[in-house]
Each structure stands twice: as C-alpha cells, then as structure tokens.
Amino acid sequence: MAGKCSKSYQKARIKLQKLYERAHRMQDDAMHKYTTHLVREYDAICIEDLDVKGMLI
C-alpha cells in the first residue's frame, strides 16, 4: 500500500498516527494520575459486582 499512495497522503497518515499516539498517552497519564490519587487518598477501595439480571423482577 505504501508504494501506491501519494507523498502527501503518507505525510498525513503519519501525522494522524502521531496525534492518536499522543492522545493515547495523555489518556494513560490521566488514568495513572487518577488511580494514584485514589490509592493515596483512601484506605480501602472496594469494587462491587452487581448481578443486575438477578435484581430484575
């Protein structure tokens, strides 16, 4: 596919890939900071798994 595409298409594709990578890293960083904050702020963190289907009448 690389041989059939124009030079400007290749540049745009690479630029878009870099933007997606940057957005992904920003999301990872935000999630890491948030989870770190939760761990430092609270003594215990519980996750409840609700059986929603069993709760329906």
Task: Identify residue 18 by its one-letter amino acid code.
Answer: K
Residue 28, pLDDT score: 98
What average pLDDT score do residues 9-29 get? 97
What average pLDDT score do residues 7-34 get? 97
**List of residues 6+ apart from 13 with CB closer than 8 A:** 5
In this predicted model, what pLDDT tens digit does every residue of 28-56 receive, in sequence order? 999 999 999 999 999 998 888 888 888 88
What the block records as the tokens of 50 is 């609700």
**Cα–Cα dist 53/28, whole Å:** 32
What average pLDDT score do residues 15-35 get? 98
Residue 51, pLDDT score: 85
